[in-house]
Amino acid sequence: MKTPALLTLFLLLPAVSPAADTLDRAMSLTAENNRQERTTQKKIDRISEQNHAMLEEYLALGRELDSLSTYNDQLQRLVDSQHREKADIEQQMSDIELTQREIVPLMLRMIDRLDRFVKEDIPFLQAERQQRVARLRELMDRADVAVAEKYRRLLEAYRIELDYSRTLEAYQDEIGNDGRRRTVDMLRVGRVGLYYLSLDGREAAWWDADERRWKPMDSAGLRSTRRALRIARQQAAPELLELPLHAAGPADEE
């Protein structure tokens, strides 16, 4: 008979149902735990990234602070050095003021010598240089200017003249040649050479300091002058060029 088997099956069914509920709850709890773990891990990762970014920013700020500290130290040393130099200069100026009765005649002699030097030198930037000497003479007659300032301006004029000796310069100027004046391109090589090139580029000459006159140059000299002018204007790379130079004259030997 099959009736007892069916009865046994019905008796077992109530026992299986609670076990299934327990399994479902366990699986649900496991899924929830996994979800919370993922959420927590994301928070941990985000906090870790934020901490890493904050650490990098902190290290960068530290490096910037070190750099600023080094820069400020250097600036302070420069300021201290300038203060010392200023104090030295002020002391020198004070000493000059105390001895102005002796220094004023010396300054007048220095201006006379500078004036003579400009007149005897090769004739470059003559108007500018002569005006500088004239302004010095006017300055010496002014009662509202301290002797120290007059002396400083005089030394500055001497420094400018000294700088001419070691520079290469190209500029335009007017020259008088054969009884007429015209604008030309001038080339000055320190104080050892003065040249001009006509604006049409067809004529060149050099200043003979011994004879105190311009002398025409041949075709080779013309090409060298053109090239030298380009070098002086920084339009060409420096190179060795053959150009006539004058020997030391009276102005050079002073």
Strand, helix or coil for residue 149: helix
Per residue in 82-127, pLDDT (tens digit) is: 788 878 887 777 776 667 678 889 999 999 999 999 999 999 999 9
Question: Are 200 and 232 part of one and the same domain?
Answer: yes
Q: Is the pLDDT of residue 79 over 60?
A: yes
Question: Are 175 and 244 part of one and the same domain?
Answer: yes
CB atoms within 10 A of CB 121: 20
From 164, 180, 206, the end of a domain falls on 164
47: confidence class by pLDDT, cuts 50, 70, 90 = confident
Question: Are 135 and 157 part of one and the same domain?
Answer: yes
Question: Are 206 and 233 part of one and the same domain?
Answer: yes
Strand, helix or coil for residue 201: coil
Q: Which of 193, 214, 213, 212 shows the shortest CA–CA distance to 203?
A: 214
Phi, psi of 209 (to 5 degrees): -70, -25
- 114 inside domain: yes
pLDDT cut 90: percent of the chain above it: 39
- 254, 113 in Cβ contact below 8 A? yes
Question: Are 215 and 151 part of one and the same domain?
Answer: no
- 79 inside domain: no
What's the N-to-C CA distance of the chain in angstroms? 149
From 114, 135, 164, the end of a domain falls on 164
Q: Which of 210, 214, 181 shows the shortest CA–CA distance to 195?
A: 214
Q: Report DSSP state, residue 163.
A: H
Predicted structure pTM score = 0.55
Could you tell me the residue range of the domain that residue 160 belongs to? 98-164
Q: Is 169 exposed, middle or buried (CB count within 10 Å of its CB: 0-12, 13-18, 19+)?
A: middle
Residues written for the chain: 254
From 164, 181, 202, the end of a domain falls on 164
Mean pLDDT confidence for 213-238 = 91
Question: Are 152 and 173 part of one and the same domain?
Answer: no
Q: Which helix (H) or strand (E) holds 180?
A: strand 180-189
DSSP for 82-132, written as a single string? HHHHHHHHHHHHHHHHHTHHHHHHHHHHHHHHHHHHHHHS--SSHHHHHHH
229: confidence class by pLDDT, cuts 50, 70, 90 = very high
CA distances from 204 to 25, 207, 228, 229 (A): 109, 10, 12, 11
